[in-house]
Amino acid sequence: MKGIFKHIKGDRSIWALVAILALFSFMPVYSASTNLVGIVGGSTIGYLIKHVVLLIMGFTIIFTVHRIPYKYFSGGSVLMLPAVFFLLIYTLAQGTTIGGANASRWISLPFIGVGFQTSTLAGLVLMVYTARYLAKNKDLEIKFKESLLQLWLPVGLILMLILPANFSTTAIIFSMILVVSFIGGYPLKYISFIVGAGILCLSIFILTAKAFPDAMPNRVNTWGKRIENFSKSGGQEAYQVEKAKIAIATGGPLGKGPGKSIQKNFLPQSSSDFIYAIIVEEYGLLGAILIVFVYFLLLFRIFITVKKAATIFGTLLVIGVGLPIIFQAGINMAVATNLFPVTGQTLPLISSGGTSIWMTCFALGMILSVSASKEETEESILDDNPLDILHEAID
């Protein structure tokens, strides 16, 4: 066991919190997957095994990524931007159909049997790219015209490709980029221009979709129905929210017990989008509070890593890839408790699904890489030959 811990770097508290969320997810996913068995087929054990395998792959991603010096993510984001751009175009053109509905946010991964949501990868790349741009210009006066070309043009193109299939993800990525830009010293007056341009582009997109409904079938109508259903009952989304509210209301202080949820049999997305409602029904108010508390602790440790980061890029990188994890968790829980319209956002590290788990783990790996860099710097100063350090300084 000591041999394993020797190779684990970074904030041990983050490792522990991630492990707690992953281990806790086993029972809710196993319980909620009974609904999938009735709809899709298979067995609850099969869905649990798939979830465990995806988590093992996720932890492998964390371990691999956290061993990479985080400075390499800066150049990697530039290399990945063209790849992500063409991947999103391919996804829009070749996106799969799930349950008879248009799902142009997914592509199928051969030999694995898991759908890959390319927008989550794109969001991660954009956050790193934004952190890179702001870090490179930290000591320079940012010129708006230059930033339009170097920062906002790539961001805008990627978000325009995500928007037709996934408005909620587009909104989250855009919001987080604005937060990172503000923290990174991008002028507030320019941010207001970008927000205005974003609203204008969204309005044009909606008007275009309304004028040419065959070009993007059902997407804008789906957004409108979700907002409408949020304010009044009716429709599939309202049905899911009503069942989620029943699950939460019947959970009580301590819940019905693991595996004893009733509403999981009626919630179509009980193992993903609405898994928090199943957790509250089975583990009660106590379980609900504990989950929120674990995410709060994870946010706290992310801020600790931000404070200890040795470089501006490290600071912005942790903020850019860390805050969306907590933000997504908050949105998922807000949807389940009817505080927010249905968005399709999963509960990080708990909901079933491959892409969400892998990209969350990739982000956590980058955070741990930044956290480990301080330790590695101190160790290198202690262990390296002073002459070698002098030669590096001269070079």
CA 89 to chain centre: 21
CA nearest 31: which of 369, 287, 248, 257?
257
Sign of CA dihedral 164, 166, 205, 134: negative
Give the span between the Cα atoms of 350 and 273, in whole angstroms. 10
Give the span between the Cα atoms of 376 and 145, in whole angstroms. 39
Print pLDDT tens along the chain (395 aa). 555 666 788 889 999 999 999 999 999 998 888 877 766 667 788 888 989 999 999 999 999 999 999 989 999 999 999 999 998 988 887 755 444 444 556 676 665 556 678 889 999 999 999 999 999 998 888 889 999 999 999 999 999 998 887 888 898 999 999 999 999 999 999 999 999 999 999 888 888 877 766 655 555 555 555 555 555 555 556 777 888 888 898 888 888 998 888 888 887 778 888 899 999 999 999 999 999 999 999 999 999 999 999 899 999 999 999 999 999 999 999 988 888 887 778 899 999 877 889 999 999 999 999 999 865 443 443 344 434 433 443 33
Does residue 140 come out as left (phi exceeding 0), alpha (psi in the -120 to 50 range) or beta?
Answer: beta
Q: Which residues pair with 108 in a beta bridge?
A: 115
Give the span between the Cα atoms of 349 and 24, in whole angstroms. 9
Q: What is the pTM of this model?
A: 0.86
Does residue 338 come out as left (phi exceeding 0), alpha (psi in the -120 to 50 range) or beta?
Answer: left
Q: Could you tell me the CA-to-CA distances from 359 to 14, 62, 152, 223 in Å, in that order?
A: 16, 10, 23, 25
Q: Which residues of 42-73 are buried (b: 16+ CB within 10 A; e: fewer)?
A: eebeebbebbeebbeebbebbbebbeeebeeb
Residues 351 and 331: beta-carbon distance below 8 Å: no
